[in-house]
Amino acid sequence: MRFDRKRALVTGAGKGIGRAIAKTLAKYGAETFALSRTQADLDSLISEVPNIKVINVDLQDWDKTKEEVSKIGHIDLLVNNAGTFNVSQIIAKRMIENGKGGSIVNISSIMSETAAPDGCVYSTTKAAIDMLTKCMALELGPHNIRVNSINPTVVWTDMARSIKDHLMPLLPMTPLGRFAEIADVVNAVVFLLSDQSGMISGECLRVDGGLGVH
């Protein structure tokens, strides 16, 4: 699978899932822009992937984000790993103007469909991402822009390992008997960005080892 002559933007690309996605897209030939609020993370990313391009900005600073994202020109592939609707608006507008279509993947969670103690804010925001995905697919489809989300279970990032005891009750409910590795999520994202998923849009794809069947 190759992304030659494609331009990709990954938000939240300094650590974990976003970092792995950015590295994979660069490996597969995409001109990749990695956005993170932490310069040290971007510096170490460049040391690993010298041809990757980096954007150091905090997405909570909307004016600065708009300024920096506007500099990079058109984007064919967008991964909203730590993104905002406003970032999607800018990139979608560029995609429409470019006239070549494209693919957007939002990173959501199985918690968008699952209620949990102390999960009101997290689950609600992820449910909003799912609906945003569907609305964007409806609006952007006529411009040949596909929009999907990835909804993973627990993924073994450094953050997940730091709260491992809190997460382990989900394991017995998972038919495959394991949580996801970062590569499981990356592979699903790459598939949805690629032409191999050319008729898939508006989907919220669970990557959860079957946990969602409950």
First and final C-alpha spacing in the chain: 33
For strand 7-11 and strand 77-80, is the pairing parallel, antiparallel, or unpaired? parallel
**Hey, which residues does 8 pair with through a beta bridge?**
32, 77
DSSP labels, 125-156: HHHHHHHHHHHHHHHHGGGTEEEEEEEES-B-
What span, in angstroms and rounded, lies between the C-alpha atoms of 75 and 193? 12
Q: Which residues, 6 or more positions from 189, have their beta carbon under 8 angstroms from its beta carbon?
A: 21, 79, 105, 107, 150
DSSP letter, residue 180: B
What span, in angstroms and rounded, lies between the C-alpha atoms of 204 and 109? 9
Residue of 122, 163, 166, 176 marked active site: 122
28 is catalytic: no
Task: Identify whether the C-beta of residue 136 lies closer than 8 Å to the C-beta of residue 84.
Answer: no
Closest residue by Cα to residue 42 from 6, 68, 70? 68
What span, in angstroms and rounded, lies between the C-alpha atoms of 182 and 213? 21
DSSP letter, residue 179: P
Provide the annotated active-site residues.
122
